[in-house]
Amino acid sequence: MRLLVVEDDPDLNRQLVLALEDAGYVIDKAFDGEEGLFLGETEPYDAVVLDLGLPEIDGVTVLERWRRSGKVFPVLILTARDRWSEKVAGFDAGADDYLTKPFHTEELLARLRALVRRAAGHVTSTIEIGDLSVDTKGARAFINGSPLKLTSHEFRILSYLSHHVDRVISRSELTEHIYDQDFDRDSNTIEVFIGRLRKKIGTNRIATVRGLGYRLCDPASLDT
Ligand code: CA
């Protein structure tokens, strides 16, 4: 899952990026409204953390412009304390959730997990695909209750596929959602990761749809 953090306070920006990376997300960061607006308009994010008080272009305007150009990614806004009118403006501009500064990192992580999975149509933090369960909170996966040993890249791929279960995901879409913008992207490496993942979770769980991409599915449901 790839997130964008737009926050002008360099310390808070760094803290957020570290905490989110620790939680297994890949992160792009921006330090002002203009940079944030541009990234949000050009890169596909699974969620965005947007401070409202930003230099260059304020957060509410950034959000309005994203929404006007059809961007539907979930947005969590960060607001200063006692600025209730800012929150209202943020929600009216298209925010999905908010946190008031200062906040606990754990709460931010929980809210983001909820936003990402709801955007993908899931209501709980564990996604079940037959006997495969993907724990998006603990960044772990299980088959029949037995934990799988996955690398962080393998988990990212499995997590993205499981959020979009039964949908065909192209290699370029996967690449865009599991690497940040600075990563030297090579879509061939996706194939390698998919190969390793298949060895660990069972070949028949990830179908290759020729020319289109990959689809995570429940092999038991295919037999019937
Ligand atoms: Ca600020």
Residues surrounding ion ligand 1 at CB below 5 Å: 8, 51, 53
| CA–centroid distance, residue 39 to ligand 1 (Å) | 18
Query: Strand, coil or helix: what is 21?
Result: helix
Residue 187 has pLDDT above 80, yes or no: no
| CA–centroid distance, residue 51 to ligand 1 (Å) | 6
pTM of the model: 0.86
| CA–centroid distance, residue 75 to ligand 1 (Å) | 16
| CA–centroid distance, residue 59 to ligand 1 (Å) | 9
Residue pLDDT, tens place only, 17-76: 999 999 999 999 999 999 999 999 999 999 999 999 999 999 999 999 999 999 999 999
Report how far residue 57's alpha carbon sits from residue 35's, in angstroms, rounded to the nearest whole number: 9
Domains of the chain by start residue, with CATH: 2-119 (3.40.50.2300), 126-223 (1.10.10.10)
198 pLDDT band, cuts 50/70/90, is very high
Report how far residue 126's alpha carbon sits from residue 27's, in angstroms, rounded to the nearest whole number: 22
Residue pLDDT, tens place only, 85-105: 999 999 999 999 999 999 999
Report how far residue 43's alpha carbon sits from residue 32's, in angstroms, rounded to the nearest whole number: 16
At 181 the pLDDT is 78
Beta bridge partners of 169: 214
Residue 111 has pLDDT above 50, yes or no: yes
